[in-house]
Amino acid sequence: LHGMGEDVYAELAKLEAAAGEARTPVRIYAPVGGHKELLAYLVRRLLENGANSSFVNRMADAEVPVSELVGDPVAELAALQPRRNPAIPLPRDIFPGRVNSAGLDLADPLVLAPLQVKLAAIADVVWEAGPTISAGPSTGSGRAGSESRTKSAHAELVDPQGADGQPRTIRSPHNSSHQVGPMREATAADVDLAVTRAVAAQPAWDALGGKWRAELLEAAADAFAAHREEIISLCQREAGKTLVDAVLELREAVDFLRYYASEARRLFTGELPLPGPTGESNTLRLAGRGVFVTISPWNFPLAIFIGPAAAALAAGNTVIAKPAEQTPLIAALAVRLCHAAGIPDDVLQLIPGDGKVGAALTAHPLIAGVAFTGSTDTARAINRSLAARDGPIATLIAETGGQNAMIVDSSALPEQVTRDVVASAFQSAGQRCSALRVIYLQEDVADHMLAMIRGGFEALVIGNPEELATDVGPVIDAEAKAALDQHIAAMKAAGRTVWQRQLPASTKGGSFVAPAIIEIDSIADLASENFGPVLHVARFAADQLEAVVEAINRTGYGLTLGLHSRIDATRRLVAARAKAGNFYVNRNQIGAVVESQPFGGEGLSGTGPKAGGPHYVARFATERVTCIDTTAAGGNASLMAGS
Just list the catalytic residues.
399, 433
Q: What single letter denotes the amino acid at residue 467?
A: E
Contact 343, 369 (CB under 8 A): no
Instruction: With H, G, I as helix, E, B as strand and everything else as coil, classify residue 390.
Output: coil
CA–CA separation, 511 and 331 (whole Å): 22
Half-sphere exposure of 461 (CA within 13 A, CB side): 10
b/e map 326-337, b = 16+ CB within 10 Å: bbbbbbbbbbbb
CA distance 305 to 235: 13
Prior bond of 515 cis (ω within 30°): no
- Please tell me the distance from the alpha carbon of residue 369 to that of residue 309, in angstroms, as a whole number: 12
CA 102 to chain centre: 15
- Beta strands 516-519; 534-540: pairing state: parallel
As a whole number of angstroms, the distance between CA 417 and CA 408 comes to: 8
Residue 461 and residue 427: Cα distance in Å, rounded? 11
The set of residues, in sequence order, having a beta carbon less than 8 Å from that of 293 and lying 6+ positions away, is 319, 320, 321, 322, 361, 362, 364, 367, 369, 370, 371
The rounded distance, in Å, linking the Cα atoms of 481 and 390 is 40
Cα–Cα distance measured from residue 393 to residue 487, given in angstroms and rounded to the nearest whole number:
40
In order of 239, 326, 339, the CA distances from 329 in angstroms are 10, 9, 15
Report CA torsion sign: 480, 483, 486, 487. Answer: negative
